[in-house]
Amino acid sequence: MAEETATAAVLVRKEPDREVLEEAFQVKVDAETRIEPKDWMPDAYRKNLIRQMSQHAHSEVVGMLPEGNWLTRAPSLKRKAILMAKIQDEGGHGLYLYSAAETLGITRDQMYDQLLDGSAKYSSIFNYPTLNWADIGAIGWLVDGAAITNQIALCRCSYGPYARAMVKICKEESFHQRQGYDIMMVMAEGTAEQRRMAQDALNRWWWPALMMFGPHDAESAHTSQSMKWKIKRSSNDELRQKFIDATVPQAEYLGLTIPDDQLAWNAAEGKYDWGEIDWDEFRNVVNGNGLCNRERLETRRKAHEGGQWVREAALAYAEKRQQRAASAPEKKEI
Amino acid sequence: MTDKAPLHELPLFEVFIRSKNGLHHRHVGSLHAADAEMALTAARDVYTRRSEGVSIWVVRTKDITASSPEDRGPFFDPNEDKMYRHPTFYDLPDEVGHM
């Protein structure tokens, strides 16, 4: 009898513990105190962040591929050097984000595996091909522009390492968008053929760029919980509208036409009205049937497997040097 | 497949950067590398592409000993009630002037 009561007491004590922890966690989040790696956090918060951050990291890394297509064909040495620097940045951004995600307890190898076996997603925008040089301009201007809109909001994310990575990334992304717009300006002011290429690029990248913000708020599976935990600070639709309002005048300046016949300034609401995204296309590309899904993953897989011997050799070399240092007579350093 | 144990991930390093002389090194993030020397080179490429630093430290993550957040209260507690360590604890008359 006494034993039974003791067990019951333990059970009673354990149950509220979790609730108390979760409540204390939410109080911290509400008070804008950042959550750091070793702090207690609900499992679902951890999982949600790992999903979002690894997906974000994969997007940076896969995002290098469409641009890599033009590295050897950039029209001048200046453009080639700029494009190289931008692609290098994207690789760096992937690294900041992988590192930040690792603080949540997932390993780098696990994340790579999830990307390569298709269980983790990356931004669908990178499953579209880069067909002409103006695409590189359109990617910088629109794709990086949309990414910045998203990422500025994430700089205030409740998870410290993610927010810090975002601050650094945002500083670097600004150059990406400006170099893209710079390409578009040159093309738009160029020959008739160049203007046609610029317009063609805008036609193909506009809608996929709007899709980058994800489903409408009403359809978004993760939005409300993420907002409560302050992982997300603005909703998909808010950010998308912000991007449209900022970008339409930029297209006008270029003398290019946004491929949306319902686009119109709504003076009463101080924002642009616009048409509707082709959600069938969105779902199709997310589900792996975009033009380049297979090619992108195949390229990543080859790069990862092709680098295996380098990683092994580097480790073997480090090990050998360590052993040599250990067996060598001790040197006094002054 | 050989019967050798599978190779582990490259070890994790934490990266600290001094942005200019006169300032402390600050933690900026982490990266994987086979050894400290390669970690330094990688840290230069990853974290100082825009002259963000004049000096880099790399430390194996597993070599860092950290206080744990659960002990935050008791661990730091002894300092909480020693207000006399702060200058504002002492009321001095205005005539004394700035001190």
A224-255 pLDDT, tens digit each: 889 999 999 999 999 999 999 999 999 999 99
- Give the model's pLDDT for residue B6: 45
Inter-chain Cβ pairs, chain A and chain B, closer than 8 A: 56
CA pair distance A303, A322, nearest whole angstrom: 29
Tell me: the pLDDT tens digits for B71-97? 667 788 777 778 888 888 999 999 999
CA pair distance A73, A79, nearest whole angstrom: 10
| Cβ–Cβ below 8 Å for A38 and B69 | yes
Q: Which residue of B has its CA nearest to A171?
A: B50
**Interface contact A9, partner B, CB < 8 A:** no
Strand segments (E) across A137-296: 264-266, 271-273
B contacts of A41 (beta carbons < 8 Å): none
CA angle A229, A234, A239 (to 5 degrees): 155
Mean pLDDT calculated for residue range A103-122: 94
| Cβ–Cβ below 8 Å for A312 and B7 | yes
User: Any idea what DSSP says for residue B9?
Assistant: P
Pull the structure tokens for residue A280: 């069938």
- Give the model's pLDDT for residue A222: 73
Give the total residue count for chain A.
334
Tell me: the pLDDT tens digits for A179-232? 999 999 999 999 999 999 999 999 999 999 999 999 999 888 777 889 999 999
Q: Quick check: helix, strand or coil at residue A215?
A: coil
Q: Which residue of A has its CA nearest to B6?
A: A312
Residue B23 C-alpha, separation from nearest chain A C-alpha, in angstroms: 19
**Interface contact A92, partner B, CB < 8 A:** yes
pLDDT band at A312 (very low <50, low <70, confident <90, very high): very high
Which residues share a beta bridge with A271? A266
Higher pLDDT, A11 or A79: A79
Q: Which residue of B has its CA nearest to A99?
A: B30
**For residue A201, what is the enclosing H or E element?**
helix A192-211
Higher pLDDT, B67 or B26: B26
Closest CA to A210 of A263, A172, A256: A263
**pLDDT over 70 at B16, yes or no:** yes
Mean pLDDT calculated for residue range B24-35: 95
- Give the model's pLDDT for residue B3: 38
Residue A112 C-alpha, separation from nearest chain B C-alpha, in angstroms: 11
- Give the model's pLDDT for residue A125: 95
- Give the model's pLDDT for residue A1: 44
**Interface contact A107, partner B, CB < 8 A:** yes
- Chain B from 66 to 85: CB within 8 A of any A CB: 66, 68-70
ipTM: 0.82
Residues B54 and B21 sit within 8 Å (Cβ to Cβ): yes
Please give the share of chain A, as a percent, with pLDDT higher than 90. 86
**Interface contact A96, partner B, CB < 8 A:** yes
A contacts of B29 (beta carbons < 8 Å): 95-96, 99-100, 164-165, 168
Residue B41 C-alpha, separation from nearest chain A C-alpha, in angstroms: 13
Mean pLDDT calculated for residue range A276-292: 93
Written as one letter, the residue type at B96 is V
Q: Which residue of A has its CA nearest to B48?
A: A92
For the entire predicted model, the pTM comes to 0.88
A contacts of B35 (beta carbons < 8 Å): 314, 317-318, 321-322
Pull the structure tokens for residue A152: 């500025």
Tell me which residue in A85, A96, A315 faces B10 most closely, judged by beta carbons. Answer: A315
CA pair distance A170, A161, nearest whole angstrom: 14
| Cβ–Cβ below 8 Å for B29 and A96 | yes
- Chain A from 294 to 313: CB within 8 A of any B CB: 311-312
**Interface contact B1, partner A, CB < 8 A:** no
Q: How many CB atoms lie within 10 A of CB A171?
A: 12
